[in-house]
Chain A
Amino acid sequence: MYGGGQVFESSSVNNELLKDEDPQKLAEFEARIERGEKIEPNDWMPKLYRKQLIRMIEQHGHSEIIGALPEGTWITRAPGFKRKLALMAKVQDEVGHAQLLYGAAETLGKSREQMIEDLITGKSKYSNIFNYPTFTWADSCFISWLVDAGAIVNQLANARGSYGPYCRALDRICAEESFHLKYGHHCVIHLATGTPKQREMMQEAVDRWWPPMMHFFGPSDKMSTHTQILTKWKVKMATNDECRQQFLDMYVPKIWELGLTIPDENLKKNSETGEWEFTEPDWEEFKRVINGDGPCNKERLAVRRTAEERGAWVRRALTAKTKGEEYVAPLA
């Protein structure tokens, strides 16, 4: 699970870092990317590239592990065997995605424990959408289908990026996401075409989740010279607007065909431009929630910290087993 928006604040792309790079090495590096080849961990890379990738992959990893919580809310209440098994497997996958992504970021030189610490101390961010609550079973179905669908748009784009370990992790993740997407759609179809009570639950979930869903891809990105370089290096693969448009194009018709309404009167596809038009999302709220003032920010971090604290004695004991052995970054 993962959304754009918070990843590339242009202030964080500091071109100062580029000044003292060896021009010849930089040229070779850029030529490799230009040829469509992947960068591998032992290749030379600019400091700025390394820094931005760590930041992006790490935040993606955090979004997966925190993303396990809103759906995990319903894990002990899933109705029937089929749903019970699927939701357990789905939430497990999200934890697995965090494991894979942290592993990819580790190849760039940041240890996993440091990343986890930065998450629970609030130093690094995760996708905003997981700061919203799942009041009913239908909310969890909305996430499984549509939040994951949004994540897939992002992830498929990033899988075409330039860093080998991240792309490999994403290939594996996207394969699993196709299960999440189908499972989620299956759940929503059953609710939307089910009893009046089920329909009502589903419609309420769509009403609740649509605004955060529109926030998911982040505000329109004004392409500065700062972010241009990330595009050139195939770190940033699509703009927030491109992702949002693609999502709307693929999923709005699928929502409508189930007789569900979307709470935005202005939502329509402009037949001339082919672009979707919609009411501008409330970006003030987006900012507020990112900065910690959302309905579940506090709970999400508290739960993650509690999990860390409750597991601390296990890790403390087991690290005693590895004495004398040095942690080194994974190979690929």
Chain B
Amino acid sequence: MSDFLNSLDPRINRLNIPAEFGTTFPSKENKDQFVTFEVFVQPTENKPYQHEGIVHAPTIDMAFLFAKEQFSRRGMSCSGVWVVNTNNVKVSPITENDEDIYDFIHEEIMEGAEKGNSEKYEIFHLRKRGKQHAHVGNLEASCFEEALFKAKNQFQEEKSVLNIWVAKSEDFMKIEGEDFADIWETLPDKRYRDAMDYKATDKIKKFKAEQKA
């Protein structure tokens, strides 16, 4: 008994942790550091995808597995999750709140850019500091710079956009549409994850009444 750490948690006791667990823990020279993936979630079909955060994952298919449970396990519905390797997202500079980043984007940005085949790029906007990037659409371009320049014609808004993310459509893993709708089907039944499911004011009232009596 005394050879192992004695915990109040039976799960921990089953791990058989030595009672005299080494007080020094060697620093790992090579860290087990995966890459990160940016996660975008669509709550219902006609809403835009919105950036929700990141996951660490070794591959994009595992990134999806992780993103689904970290970022779409709550709420009444979810209709899709996109993940993309952080390395594959190009980021514009960020402007002041009253400036529009598109005003700083001119044809010259394409000068010297290496053009490839025409393909689809996804565009995301940040409209205010502190908010999340939201998907505004996609377009055909032959390089990131061209995508950014074309985005100005297609997606510039009345209100200023502070920051733009651009990524190739094919770099995303997109889990959405009819084929996957059922994996979120029971979300509304997960009532136990919701504060609304824990009402007990009646019990308190009854208790107080009994105390008085």
The answer to A–B direct touch (Cβ < 8 A) is: yes
- Residues in A lying within 8 Å of B, measured CB to CB: 37-40, 42-43, 69, 72-77, 82, 85-86, 89, 96, 99-100, 103, 106, 111-114, 117, 120-122, 133-135, 164, 167-169, 172, 176, 178-179, 181-183, 185-186, 189-190, 192-193, 257-259, 298-299, 301-303, 305-306, 310, 312, 315-316, 318-319, 321-322, 325-332
A-B contact pairs, 27 of them (CB 8 A): A39-B129, A72-B9, A73-B9, A75-B11, A76-B11, A77-B10, A106-B36, A117-B28, A135-B8, A179-B193, A182-B195, A185-B200, A189-B200, A190-B203, A193-B203, A193-B207, A257-B208, A302-B5, A303-B12, A305-B21, A305-B25, A306-B21, A315-B34, A319-B33, A322-B58, A329-B36, A329-B86
Q: Assuming A169-B53, A312-B32, is B204 touching A318 (CB within 8 A)?
A: no
The 4 lowest CB-CB distance pairs between A and B, nearest first, are A38-B130, A315-B32, A113-B31, A318-B58
Known: A121-B25, A190-B203, A326-B35. A182 touches B198 (CB 8 A): yes
Interface membership of B97, Cβ < 8 A: yes
- Beta-carbon contacts under 8 Å, B30-88 to A: 30-36, 38, 51-56, 58-59, 62, 70, 74, 85-87
A168 touches B192 (CB 8 A): no
Task: Count how many chain B residues have C-beta atoms less than 8 Å from C-beta atoms of the other chain.
Answer: 63
The reply to whether A316 and B32 contact each other, CB–CB distance below 8 Å, is yes
Q: How far is the CA of A39 from the CA of B52 in the complex (A)?
A: 18
Instruction: Look across to chain B and name the residue whose beta carbon is closest to the beta carbon of A42.
Output: B94
Tell me what chain A mostly uses at the interface: helix, strand, loop, or mixed: helix
For window 71-112 of chain B, which residues contact chain A by CB distance below 8 Å? 74, 85-87, 89, 91, 93-94, 97
Contact B132 A168 (CB under 8 A): yes
Q: Are B53 and A103 in contact (CB under 8 A)?
A: yes
